[in-house]
A and B are shown apart, each in its own frame.
Chain A
């Protein structure tokens, strides 16, 4: 075991520090924000669009979406419903696991080669692709900056395109063609069960909670038609595509998108049937691990802001942070953060090593989601009334966490899925 960041991971983190660092952070955190009730009509400020584009392009130029060559279906080593994994005779000794079951990522022992306790072989350069273990470091920084962008959706689309044999499209996306994932028919839907697609003729569908529709070069539409899963790319600028902006508590950039009879000739099919269902499920595993890291980053930033503020803010003649009641709550958050971060790292490692990362992935995201909400809530409470004011970031963390904690599945649903895997493992 070596649970400190490898040189490679460290190098990747550092590479993105400037973009998401203290200087740009205030701007990034507010980017895409709209007034309450501004609704569909809220126009995008031109200067903001330019800034947003510049940040996006920098992120892509730094290699933020470049993938290291891996198993095309990294998240899922077994068939759906199969607890998967393990050749290990007793998986309790398995990686980072302890206990006896396989869904936590299969057998122990480093796959191949003599063990080097020192991390990666050499630092990463921008032209190197990122493994999931490095992607989560980018995600943490994105989360800390509350930077809303098509990064998460595009990363998912790249994995699906590559797995579908469309490396050409994957490369274009990685170079900066943003993708918006369109899976939910209704906002209340879970991403695991994409909405219905009308199979007759052209593509007819409505999707809610689609991020960054106006920026999208592609929409990745996931849906089911007659029980079959379909994954389709739709050009963002097609005349049959229209949208209106949601007015959600995060006041970010989510849209309801309508696809009105987009002809088959304009679509790029990435998969259909059982294969597409598997692709989608596998891609969700990795997307959830990245999102968990993003939530950990947001929770860390919310805590950092709160610690900094309570060290300055004086009441009863001393800094508020000198009192144990608030200090202990921040200590508990810091401890939960440490725990969640390690859980996310384990999930990423399992996925990178080709183990079944589903159980840890569900648990990591559910843990991170609960934590991000708690950190947002505590941030406002420990800031006091000033934390509720529009110009203070505490309320921003609180509102964004409300959306982000649900975006890739309700924690309750994630735990339901995890329970099924656990039950299977403990019955074996």
Chain B
């Protein structure tokens, strides 16, 4: 075991950090923080600048706009973006989720069509999985791709999707074939989002990121839009889902929030107060552990191993921890911590308030905590079989 990064990795982290400290980047990140209520960041200039350096998709091969790096560099970049308070969700959904599926199962032509624009920060993508009545039990989805000549027409409704309002295209799971085996007959499509036949509306929720309600009303798709095998989408989804569950960005967010809470508690004396210090130390230990759990998954992935159990543990632990920290941020901060960034008395950017609104979503997205426990219990402990 080795708990340090290589010199090259440290150098990369330093370079990223220097870039993120540049004036133009700070200004752009600050501007996001001062957005009016219900406005949220989409594609940022920062992404484009990262794209110019080939860092936005640093782990992709050169020909698609990356640097041929590994998931380690990618993870370093994600940690640094979060640390520097640069919104990362559009980047994660576009590059780490949709881009990854393209890399794994896309045809050469698809890769050349879609990846360079994502890597350059010029286009973004989103994911269309959940539907009304269909959440954790994704195989029950009802969106249909009906045969139409040499292609299909897509009918259905997708909800609770993030960042679809900005997306140029989306990864959409739809049923192509009715089957007794419900995991068979699902196909993954790349759906152009800026076309008639795709209607995106907001569903306002308590977090800063709105949900999208996307109606697919007969948009025509061809074989070129299919990712992987027709009817074979379920396997791909299952292959990629664990990669969303490294826990890396969640632990980074947990650490960033806790750092703020600890710095404040060190200033105002609560870290010296036995009534508060016990829990603060416990949370700090857990945040360190969450960091290690995520990097254990990352180092596995780098070596070509994917362990569905330790990924589930990492995701579960980091997201539940984030919620506990956000709760304790309010407890230590008092009512001051409940002020939003739009209150004139607020002095801390409303970050604790925003974090507390964000928390519940992260134990739901990319597999709920209950699904994670199910995976640990079934695959890991061979219970529930």
Return 30 A-B CB contacts under 8 Å, by A number: A4-B296, A4-B303, A93-B14, A94-B4, A98-B291, A110-B7, A115-B7, A117-B2, A117-B299, A117-B302, A321-B384, A327-B378, A331-B383, A334-B376, A339-B286, A339-B292, A342-B289, A342-B293, A343-B288, A346-B3, A353-B4, A366-B281, A367-B285, A415-B282, A419-B271, A422-B280, A423-B271, A423-B277, A426-B265, A427-B266
Contacts A339-B289, A426-B262 aside, 20 further interface pairs with beta carbons under 8 A come to A1-B299, A3-B3, A4-B303, A9-B1, A97-B291, A98-B287, A98-B291, A108-B5, A110-B7, A115-B8, A322-B384, A324-B374, A330-B377, A331-B372, A331-B377, A331-B380, A338-B313, A342-B289, A343-B289, A350-B3
Contact A1 B5, beta carbon cutoff 8 Å: yes
Asked if A232 is at the interface (CB within 8 A of a chain B CB), the reply is no
Chain A 63-97 interface mask (CB, 8 Å, partner B; 1/0): 00000000000000000000000000010111111
A345 to B377, Cβ gap below 8 A? no
Name the interface residues of A301-323: CB closer than 8 Å to any CB of B.
Answer: 307, 310-311, 321-322
Q: How far is the CA of A382 from the CA of B33 in the complex (A)?
A: 49
Instruction: Out of B10, B373, B382, B384, name the residue touching A93 (CB < 8 Å).
Output: B10
B293 touches A109 (CB 8 A): no
Residue numbers in B under 8 Å from A324 (CB-CB): 374, 377, 384
Residues of chain A lying within 8 A (CB to CB) of residue B4:
1, 94-96, 108-110, 353
Residues of A with C-beta under 8 A to B83: 92
A residues less than 8 Å from B13 (CB atoms): 93
- Neighbouring B residues of A416 by C-beta, 8 Å: 274, 277-278
Chain A residues whose C-beta falls within 8 Å of the C-beta of B267 in the assembled complex: 427
Specify which chain A residues have a CB less than 8 angstroms from the CB of B292 in the assembled complex: 3, 96, 339, 342-343, 345-346
Are the C-beta atoms of A3 and B295 separated by less than 8 Å? Answer: yes
Distance (whole angstroms) from the CB of A330 to the closest CB of chain B: 6
Chain B count of residues within 8 A CB distance of the other chain: 67
* B277 → A minimal CB distance (Å): 4
A363 near B285: Cβ-Cβ < 8 Å: yes
Tell me whether A235 is interfacial, beta carbon within 8 Å.
no
Which residue of A100, A117, A338 contacts B6 across the interface (Cβ within 8 Å)?
A117
Cβ 8 A contact of B5, one of A90, A109, A310, A332: A109
B316 close to A (CB within 8 Å): yes
**B2 nearest in chain A by CB position:** A2
Given A349-B1, A349-B3, A367-B285, A423 contacting B266 (CB threshold 8 A): yes
Chain B contacts with A in 241-286, Cβ cutoff 8 A: 251-252, 255, 258-259, 262-263, 265-267, 271-272, 274, 277-278, 280-282, 284-286
Q: Are A331 and B281 in contact (CB under 8 A)?
A: no
Nearest chain A CB to B306 CB, angstrom units: 13
Is B298 among interface residues, defined by CB-CB distance under 8 A? yes
Q: How far is the CA of A342 from the CA of B295 in the complex (A)?
A: 10
Interface of A is mostly: helix
A2→B299 contact, CB < 8 A: yes
Query: Cβ of A2 and Cβ of B282 under 8 Å apart?
Result: no
Residues of B contacting A145 in the complex (Cβ-Cβ under 8 angstroms): none
Residue from B2, B286, B385 whose CB has the most chain A CB atoms within 10 Å: B2
Q: Are A331 and B373 closer than 8 Å at their CB atoms?
A: yes
Interface bits A408-427 vs B (CB < 8 Å: 1, else 0): 00001001101110110011
The B-contacting residues of A in range 97-130, CB under 8 angstroms, are 97-100, 104-105, 108-110, 114-115, 117, 119
Q: In the complex, which residue of chain B has the Cβ closest to the Cβ of A348?
A: B1
| A-chain residues with CB within 8 Å of residue B17 when the two chains form the complex | 90
Task: For B4, give the chain A residue with the smallest CB separation.
Answer: A95
Asked whether A109 lies within 8 Å of B7 as measured between CB atoms, the reply is yes
The verdict on B102 contacting chain A, using a C-beta distance below 8 Å, is no
Q: Does A171 contact B (CB under 8 A)?
A: no
Considering the chains assembled together, what is the distance between the CA atoms of A104 and B251 in angstroms?
A: 17
A353 and B267 CA atoms in complex are apart in Å by 31
Give the distance to chain B from A94, nearest Cβ to Cβ, in Å: 8
Q: Mark B159-186, 1 if CB is under 8 A from A, else 0.
A: 0000000000000000000000000000
Give every chain B residue within 8 A of A335 (Cβ-Cβ).
313, 316-317, 376
Contacts of B1 in A (CB 8 A): 2-6, 9, 119, 133, 345, 349
CB distance from B382 to the nearest CB of A (A): 7
**Contacting residues of chain B (339-385) with chain A, CB-CB under 8 angstroms:** 370, 372-374, 376-378, 380-385
Q: Is A186 an interface residue (CB 8 A)?
A: no
Q: Say yes or no: is B310 at the interface (Cβ < 8 Å to chain A).
A: yes
Q: Is B72 an interface residue (CB 8 A)?
A: yes
| B300 proximal to A (CB < 8 A) | yes
A340 adjacent to chain B (CB < 8 Å): yes
